[in-house]
Amino acid sequence: MAGTKVLRSEWTKIRSVHSTVWTLGLALFVTVALGLLISILTNNDYDSMSKGDQLRFDPTNTGFAGMYLGQLAMIVFGVLVVSNEYSTGMIRVSLAAVPQRATFFVCKVLVATVLAFVVSLVTAFASFFLGQAALGDHSAAIGDPGVLRAVIGAALYMTLIAMFSMGIAAILRSPMLSLGILMPFFFLISNILGNVSATKKVGQYLPDQAGSKITQVVAPLDDDAPYGPWGGLGIMVIWVVLALIVGYVLLRKRDA
C-alpha cells in the first residue's frame, strides 16, 4: 500500500475513535483553564511575595502551569493511538493490509505527531496570551527575550510527551500496562527523583525534567542543571527516539 494511502488510513483511524479525539480536546482545555486560574491567583498574591520571589518571577512559565495536567491527556492520547489496535485485535488486519511494518509504524507515528503538535501549538499560544492577560501588570510580552522560544517550546514539549508515550505503547502493546507505567513515572517517580537531593542529578536527565526547561524564561533559583533550554529539549528528544526505535524493533520481531 502506498505511503499516502497509509497516512490517510491512519488519519481515519484516529479521527474515528472518539477517545483519542476527546483526549486532545481535554489536553487543550485543562492546560489553558488551569494555567488561567493559576495566573489569576498569582496576580492576586503577587504583592505578598517576597522580593526574591518577585525578582525570580517567570510570568511566561506561570501561564503554562496547566501543562502538568495537560500532559496527562497527551500521555493517554499517545498510548491509545498505538495500543488501541492491540486491545481490539485490529492490529492483525492493519498489518495484513500494510505488511511493510516500517511504513505502518512511521505513518501511524507521523499522523499522530502532526495532530498532537497542532493541538499543542494552539494550547501553548492560548495558555500564554490568556495567562498574561490574567497577570496584568506582571505579564510578559511575546516579543520579550526568550518568550517566543518558551511558547513554541511548550508545544514541542507536549508533542514529545505524546511521542514518547507512543513508543512505550509500541513496546508494551497494552493500554493498561502502558498507562500503569507512564503515569507513576511522570507524576510520582520523576518528581521524587528530581526533588530529592541524593537523586536530583539523575532526575535532571529524565525526559520531563529535562524537556520542561524549554518552557522557562527565568531559571529557578535552585536550578543547577548543566544544560540550557534547548539542551534539555535535546535530552528529551533522545528519550523519544530511543522509545520509538525500541518500539519499532519489537514490532518487526513479534507476531501481531
* Residue 1: per-residue pLDDT: 53
Across residues 225-248, what is the average pLDDT? 96
pLDDT at 237 over 80: yes
Confidence class for position 52, pLDDT limits 50, 70, 90: confident
What pLDDT shows up at residue 134? 96
CA separation for the pair 240, 77 (Å, rounded): 15
Contact 227, 235 (CB under 8 A): yes
What pTM was computed for the model? 0.93
Residue 38 pLDDT grade (very low, low, confident, very high; cuts 50, 70, 90): very high
* Confidence (pLDDT) at 39: 96
pLDDT tier at 5, thresholds 50, 70, 90: confident
pLDDT at 158: 97
60-79 pLDDT, tens per residue?
Answer: 999 999 998 999 999 999 99
CB 200 within 8 A of CB 113: no
Report pLDDT digits (tens) over 95-113: 888 888 999 999 999 999 9
Question: How is the chain classified by DSSP, letter by letter?
Answer: --HHHHHHHHHHHHHH-HHHHHHHHHHHHHHHHHHHHHHHHHHHHGGGS-HHHHHT--HHHHHTTTHHHHHHHHHHHHHHHHHHHHHHTTHHHHHHH---HHHHHHHHHHHHHHHHHHHHHHHHHHHHHHHHHHHGGG---TTSTTHHHHHHHHHHHHHHHHHHHHHHHHHH--HHHHHHHHHHIIIIIHHHHHHSTTTHHHHTTSHHHHHGGGG-SS--TT---SS-HHHHHHHHHHHHHHHHHHHHHHHHHS--
The mean pLDDT value for 164-178 works out to 95
d(CA 71, CA 76): 9
More confident residue, 171 or 55: 171
**Cβ-Cβ contacts under 8 Å for 91 (sequence gap 6 or more):** 85, 256
The residues spanned by each domain of the chain are: 3-253
Average predicted confidence (pLDDT) for the chain: 92
**In the prediction, which pLDDT does 255 show?**
67
pLDDT tens, residue by residue, 125-166: 999 999 999 999 999 999 999 999 999 999 999 999 999 999
Which grid cell sits at 26? 481535554
What percentage of the chain exceeds 90 in pLDDT?
68
Report pLDDT for 27: 95
The string of pLDDT tens digits covering residues 177-223 is 999 999 999 999 998 988 888 888 889 999 999 999 999 998 887 77
Q: Cβ(141)–Cβ(131) under 8 Å?
A: no
Q: State the pLDDT at residue 206.
A: 95
pLDDT at 42 over 90: yes
How much is the pLDDT for 2? 67
| Confidence at residue 256, expressed as pLDDT on a 0 to 100 scale | 60
